[in-house]
Amino acid sequence: MKILEERILKDGVVRAGNVLKVDCFLNHQMDISLFQDMAKEWKKRFADKKINKILTIEASGIAIACIAATEFDNIPVVFAKKNESLNIDGEIYSSKVSSFTKKRVYDVFVSKKYLTPEDHVLIIDDFLAVGSALNGLIDIVEQSGATVEGLGIAIEKGFQGGGDKLREKGYQLESLAIVDVLDAENGTIKFRE
Ligand code: 5GP
């Protein structure tokens, strides 16, 4: 998606350890008009899918998932919580996710009330690196008996391999920008053709 790639080139900052900082429009300050364009693009790419729910993970996925939902008839958005909270009554699906940026393993939870075998789920997240977050969300959907209809990612770091493994498994993965080169020394960012 050209405008997202251009925005990454304009405002993205390459950090050591294969980290791309996009705090200025995605992860801290948020460009809602860009999110609306991203939502339209996902709607186009998943036009043939019957989707009735969006699943994401806190925190950065929530805003883009909510804007995405407006293009899918305002279907409900569920976000996986990273810590068991008092609001959740023990009836949960859970999975383990290892955080690429924070270098630790945590549990993610979704209440059984909000995912059922009748659900057809689009999973949305901001970044895809090695795929731990997405695989955790897929695991939770599968535990519930719901169907994963597709995976929508804003920025995939293609060189970290998580995306290609999911494509090989047969998932429809739609990443709006795929970064294949991220060089912290000279700040180079290159996208997949
Ligand atoms: P994965 O689980 O695929 O290895 O990493 C995906 C998760 O890690 C995303 O939910 C995102 O929050 C975070 N993440 C991974 N790489 C980056 C990055 O380069 N920049 C930012 N801002 N977040 C990242």
Which of 101, 107, 155, 167 to mutate for ligand 1's pocket (most ligand atoms within 8 Å of CB)?
101
In short, whether 128's Cβ falls inside 6 Å of ligand 1 is yes
Which of 64, 108, 127, 171 to mutate for ligand 1's pocket (most ligand atoms within 8 Å of CB)?
127
Residue ranges and CATH numbers for the domains of the chain are 2-191 (3.40.50.2020)
Atom of ligand 1 at shortest range from CA of 135: 2
Q: Give pLDDT tens digits for 121-143.
A: 999 999 999 999 999 999 999 99
Atom of ligand 1 at shortest range from CA of 98: 2
- Rounded Cα gap, residues 88 and 108, in angstroms: 12
In short, whether 33's Cβ falls inside 6 Å of ligand 1 is no
Q: Give pLDDT tens digits for 132-185.
A: 999 999 999 999 999 999 999 999 999 999 999 999 999 999 999 999 999 999
Nearest residue by C-alpha to atom 12 in ligand 1: 127
Q: With b meaning 16 or more CB within 10 Å and e meaning fewer, what string describes 4-36?
A: bbebbeeebebeeebebebeebbbeebeeebbe
Residue 86 has pLDDT above 90, yes or no: no
Please report the pLDDT score of residue 143 as a whole number. Answer: 97
In short, whether 141's Cβ falls inside 6 Å of ligand 1 is no
- CB-based contact 157:182 (threshold 8 Å): yes
- CB-based contact 112:42 (threshold 8 Å): no
Q: What is the DSSP string of 105-147?
A: EEEEEEEGGG--TT-EEEEEEEEESSSHHHHHHHHHHHHHT-E
Please report the pLDDT score of residue 102 as a whole number. Answer: 77
**124 C-alpha to center of ligand 1: Å?**
13
In short, whether 162's Cβ falls inside 6 Å of ligand 1 is yes
Residue 189 has pLDDT above 70, yes or no: yes
User: Where are any strands of DSSP class E within the chain?
Assistant: 13-15, 19-21, 53-57, 77-80, 92-98, 105-111, 120-128, 147-157, 173-183, 188-191
Q: Give pLDDT tens digits for 48-61.
A: 999 999 999 999 99
- Rounded Cα gap, residues 3 and 12, in angstroms: 13
- Rounded Cα gap, residues 107 and 81, in angstroms: 8
